[in-house]
Chain A
Amino acid sequence: MSFFKKMKEKLTGTSESVSVSEKFKDGLSKTRNQFTSKVNDLVAKYRKVDEDFFEELEDLLLQADVGVDTVMELMDKLRYEVQRKNMKDTAGIQSVISEKLVEIYESGEEESNEIVLQKDGLTVILFVGVNGVGKTTTIGKLAHRLKQQGKTVMLAAGDTFRAGAIDQLQVWGDRVGVEVIKQSEGSDPAAVMYDAVRSAKSKGIDVLICDTAGRLQNKVNLMNELQKVHRVIEREVPGAPHEVLLALDATTGQNALVQAQAFKEATNVTGIVLTKLDGTAKGGIVLAIRNKLHIPVKFVGLGEKMDDLQPFDTEKYVYGLFAEGLEQEEADTSK
Chain B
Amino acid sequence: MAFEGLAERLQGTIQRIKGKGKVSEADVKEMMREVRFALIEADVNLKVVKEFVKKVSERAVGVDVMKSLTPGQQVIKIVKDELTELMGGEQSPIQFAKKPPTVIMMVGLQGAGKTTTTGKLANILRKKYNRNPLLVAADIYRPAAIQQLQTIGKQLSLPVFSLGTDVSPVEIVRQALEKSKEDHNDVIIIDTAGRLHIDEDLMQELKDIRALKEPDEVFLVVDSMTGQDAVNVAQSFNESIGITGVVLTKLDGDTRGGAALSIRSVAQKPIKFVGMGEKMDALEPFHPERMASRILGMGDMLSLIEKAQANVDEEKAKELEEKFRTQSFTFDDFIEQLNQVKKMGPLEDIIKMLPGAGKIKGLENAKVDEKQMGRVEAIIYAMTPQEKTTPDIINSSRKKRIAKGSGTSIQDVNRLLKQFEDMKKMMKQMSNMQQQKGKKKMKMPGLDSLFK
Contacts and interface: CB of A to CB of B under 8 A. Distances in A.
A163 interface: yes
A62 interface: yes
Contacts of A134: 110-111
A131 interface: yes
Interface in B368-397: 368
Interface stretch (B85-93, B225-233, B308-316): B225-233
A80 to B, nearest CB: 21
Interface residues of A, number: 51
Contacts of B155: 163
Given A30-B198, A280-B197, A280-B232, A253 B250 contact: no
A133 B112 CA distance: 8
Interface centre among A163, A216, A281, A282 (most CB of B within 10 A): A163
Nearest to A260: B1
Interface in A55-97: 59, 62-65, 67-68
Interface stretch (A5-13, A165-173, A198-206): A165-173
B152 A163 contact: yes
B196 interface: yes
Given A258-B1, A280-B198, A280-B229, A68 B256 contact: no
Interface centre among B150, B229, B368 (most CB of A within 10 A): B229
B109 A251 contact: yes
Interface centre among A133, A251, A252, A304 (most CB of B within 10 A): A251
Main SS of chain A's interface residues?
loop
B147 to A, nearest CB: 4
A133 B111 contact: yes
Interface string B36-72: 0100111101110000000000000000000000000
B322 interface: no
Contact of B41 (A131, A165, A254): A254
B208 interface: no
Interface of A: 30, 59, 62-65, 67-68, 130-134, 137, 140, 161-165, 167-168, 170-172, 175, 185, 216-220, 249, 251-258, 261, 276, 278-282, 285, 292, 304
Interface of B: 1-3, 37, 40-43, 45-47, 109-113, 115, 141-152, 155, 196-198, 223, 225-230, 232-233, 250, 252-256, 258-259, 278, 346, 348, 352, 367-368
25 contacts: A30-B198, A63-B46, A63-B228, A68-B37, A131-B113, A132-B223, A133-B111, A161-B278, A163-B148, A164-B151, A167-B143, A167-B147, A171-B144, A175-B143, A249-B225, A252-B225, A252-B227, A253-B259, A255-B225, A255-B253, A256-B227, A276-B109, A280-B198, A281-B228, A304-B141
